Amino acid sequence: MSKRMDTGNAACALAVKAANVDFIAAYPITPQTTISEKLADYAAAGELSGVYLPVESEHSVMSAVAAASAAGSRTFTATSSQGLLYMHEILHFAAGGRLPVVMVNVNRAVCAPWCLYADHQDSVSQRDTGWLQFHCASHQEIYDTVFLAYKVAEKVRIPAMINYDGFLLSHSMLPFDTLDQETINRFLPPYRPDWKLHPQWGGTFGNVAAAAEYSAYRNTLAEDTLKAADVIEEEARAYKDLTGRWHGGMIDVQGPQDSDVFLMSMGSMSAEMSLVAEALQAQGIKAANLKVRVYRPFPGAALRQALPQNAKLLVFDRNLAYGHEGGALLMEARSVFYDSGKAVKIAGASVGIGGVDLPAAMLTEKALALLEGLK
Amino acid sequence: MLELRIHGRGGQGVVTMAELLAKAAVKTGLEAQTLPFFGVERRGAAVKACVRFDQTPIRIRSMSYHPQVIALMNGNLLSYARIDGIDPDTYFVVNAKEPLDLQADQWILDAEAVAIENNLVFGGEPFINVPMLGGIAKVLNIPLAAVEETIRGHWSGKKADVNLAAARQAYEQIKKYEGGCRQ
């Protein structure tokens, strides 16, 4: 283990280098580009065990990593914003094909108008592609989540997207600790798929299916995605036992578990939100920070378990759910508690769109206004 | 926690300077964070970066509005600093020949002269980020040895030598003007 002071993208590239990845395809887009550049440097220096393939578009990137995954490789790529949107068709293919690709999406607003800065519209709009979606709030969490995502994705055979906010994490520097290779290998041994495409073995992949088979296949994916929540909890705990590091399972509640008010958010905002919880506590409000670590599957069971009866849940989205009042997290939080037997009052707001800055003082004011509205 | 906000222009190496400063602080056992803002990502456009220093891990993920210290890569960036917020007790580190017309403590460094004297001129432009790094490190009480070690980790050979010399000279030459303009 050694302490590093570097950017979020550098933390990501270091973890990918250590994760025994066999195949990387890449195409640049801000603010992801420095991940791909760093991995290209590692490849050029002979420090990367796998193949690095620069291709001509994100559609080709996802096609290449999906194909390489089907051929039995542990694969990686990274993208942002428009790049993720351009992959959309093959995102469905990778999930439907049960290919455990791991991808980093450095969150950035989508066009139009052009905007370089962070919001979650890019990843939230890929919600129904069948991918697992993780969110990170620190460089340490980025580094650690790379290993967790591979472990879970390969176990449940569903691709995983690791999200973190553009510039706020990707281009900022924070200290983080790496792991020695032996510890990494113990948690994440080299990939041994239980099937793969091979020219010497007959068979086809991704062929036409009749309705009955297709629906059975897709329903299984839906069920397995829900079941992945237990695997994520289990592996996050195993990672903690091995390394001592904890960023939550599906969610992370920071503060009194019996709080009256829970502040829910995901991404970099959920680090700042711990300061908001403390500001509310200073005003005599019993408040806890509720970090959503996993957006897909949605942490429904974890939320129902974590919130006490009569709690107030304030939801802060960094996305807009067009045609619906409130963002994606708010919508799903309401759905989780409907008919749950738990009386939880819920209010929320979409903030930080296009990278609008979210200082704790502003979020505290917003939280107080939302609480006032719940009275 | 100590917060520094740097105002510069695209191409001046503001982000690199912020990173080297934070790395030097981490070498002394502090926690640190850089948070750059690239503006419209064009050479010459106004850019800024925040650097935070603390004893405990930093949880802030937003820009700095009440920094104790503001660094200006040129005096004409003061208007940008005003937009983002200046507290009554904020003090300044400025690349300038003379103190600014401003009621605040100022540390003044002729970073252009330091750059020129140390052959840090590229394409006809003096490169002032490492001179400013040396000056700011002095103001923030970051030991010169930590700055030197950071520079050696970032550059090697002759490039390290000229940058080391520039940082040392700036560390020596930066001058404090208490209470603001002309003494």
Q: At A295, which CATH number?
A: 3.40.50.920
**Chain-chain contact of A173 with B34 (C-beta, under 8 angstroms):** yes
The mean per-residue pLDDT over the stretch A212-237 comes to 97
Residues of A in contact with B37 (CB under 8 A): 167
- Can you give the pLDDT at residue A207? 81
Out of A5, A137, A171, the one facing B32 most closely (by C-beta) is: A5
**pLDDT level of residue B183 (50, 70, 90 thresholds):** very low
Name residue A340's beta-bridge partners. none
A239, A260: one domain: no
Q: Tell me the three-class secondary structure of B67-78, residue by residue.
A: CCEEEECCHHHH
The mean per-residue pLDDT over the stretch A234-242 comes to 98
**pLDDT level of residue B181 (50, 70, 90 thresholds):** low
DSSP notation for A268-335: THHHHHHHHHHHHHHTT--EEEEEE-EEES--HHHHHHHSPTT-EEEEEESS--TTSSS-HHHHHHHH
CB A160 within 8 A of CB A134: yes
A198, A302: one domain: no
- Specify burial of residue A245 (Cβ count, 10 A radius: 0-12, 13-18, 19+): middle
Residue A268 in contact with partner chain B when CB distance is under 8 A: yes
Query: Over 70: is that where the pLDDT of B9 sits?
Result: yes
In angstroms, the CA A340 to CA A320 distance is 25
CA A296-A299-A300 angle, to 5 degrees, is 120
Q: Which fold has domain B2-177?
A: Pyruvate-ferredoxin Oxidoreductase; domain 3 (3.40.920)
Residue B150 in contact with partner chain A when CB distance is under 8 A: no
**Chain-chain contact of A172 with B33 (C-beta, under 8 angstroms):** yes
In angstroms, the CA A343 to CA A173 distance is 42
Q: How high is the mean pLDDT of chain A? A: 97
In angstroms, the CA A232 to CA A298 distance is 12
Q: Residue B139 is inside which H or E element, if any?
A: helix B129-139
Eight-state DSSP code of residue A213 = H
pTM of the model: 0.96
Structure tokens at A276: 């908001």
Q: pLDDT above 70 covers what percent of chain B? A: 98
A189, A314: one domain: no
Q: Assign residue A173 the CATH number of its domain.
A: 3.40.50.970
The mean per-residue pLDDT over the stretch B142-158 comes to 97
Out of A174, A274, A358, the one facing B62 most closely (by C-beta) is: A358
Query: Over 70: is that where the pLDDT of A16 sits?
Result: yes
A123, A266: one domain: no
A214, A86: one domain: yes
Going by C-alpha positions, the residue among A151, A135, A171, A154 that lies closest to residue A32 is A171
Q: What φ, ψ does residue A161 adopt, rounded to 5°? A: -110, 125
Q: What is the pLDDT of residues B41-51, one digit of tens each?
A: 788 899 999 99
Domain assignment of residue A87, given as a range: 3-243
Q: What is the pLDDT of residues A293-335, one digit of tens each?
A: 999 999 999 999 999 999 999 999 999 999 998 999 999 999 9
Q: Which of A209, A243, A277 is a domain's end point?
A: A243
A138, A273: one domain: no
Query: Over 50: is that where the pLDDT of A342 sits?
Result: yes
**Chain-chain contact of A137 with B61 (C-beta, under 8 angstroms):** yes
A227, A258: one domain: no
- Can you give the pLDDT at residue B180? 60
Q: Give domain limits for chain B.
A: 2-177
A200, A308: one domain: no
Query: Over 50: is that where the pLDDT of A133 sits?
Result: yes
A199, A83: one domain: yes
Point out the least confidently predicted range of A30-39, A360-369, B37-46, B104-113.
B37-46
Structure tokens at A13: 């590239």
Domain count, chain A: 2
Quote the minimal CA–CA distance from B53 to chain A in Å.
11
In angstroms, the CA B120 to CA B126 distance is 6
A345, A310: one domain: yes
Q: Which of A243, A278, A293 is a domain's end point?
A: A243
Residue B38 in contact with partner chain A when CB distance is under 8 A: yes
Q: How many Cβ atoms sit within 10 Å of the Cβ of residue B56?
A: 8
Residues of B in contact with A2 (CB under 8 A): none
Query: Over 90: is that where the pLDDT of A2 sits?
Result: no
**Chain-chain contact of A173 with B23 (C-beta, under 8 angstroms):** yes
Structure tokens at A289: 């920070």
**Chain-chain contact of B38 with A358 (C-beta, under 8 angstroms):** no
Query: Over 80: is that where the pLDDT of A202 sits?
Result: no
**AA letter at B15:** V
Query: Over 80: is that where the pLDDT of B74 sits?
Result: yes
A255, A237: one domain: no
A39, A133: one domain: yes
Query: Over 50: is that where the pLDDT of B182 sits?
Result: no
In angstroms, the CA A37 to CA A45 distance is 12
CB A7 within 8 A of CB A35: no
In angstroms, the CA A340 to CA A353 distance is 31
- The three-class DSSP label of residue A265 is strand
Q: pLDDT above 90 covers what percent of chain A? A: 95
Q: Which of A191, A226, A243 is a domain's end point?
A: A243
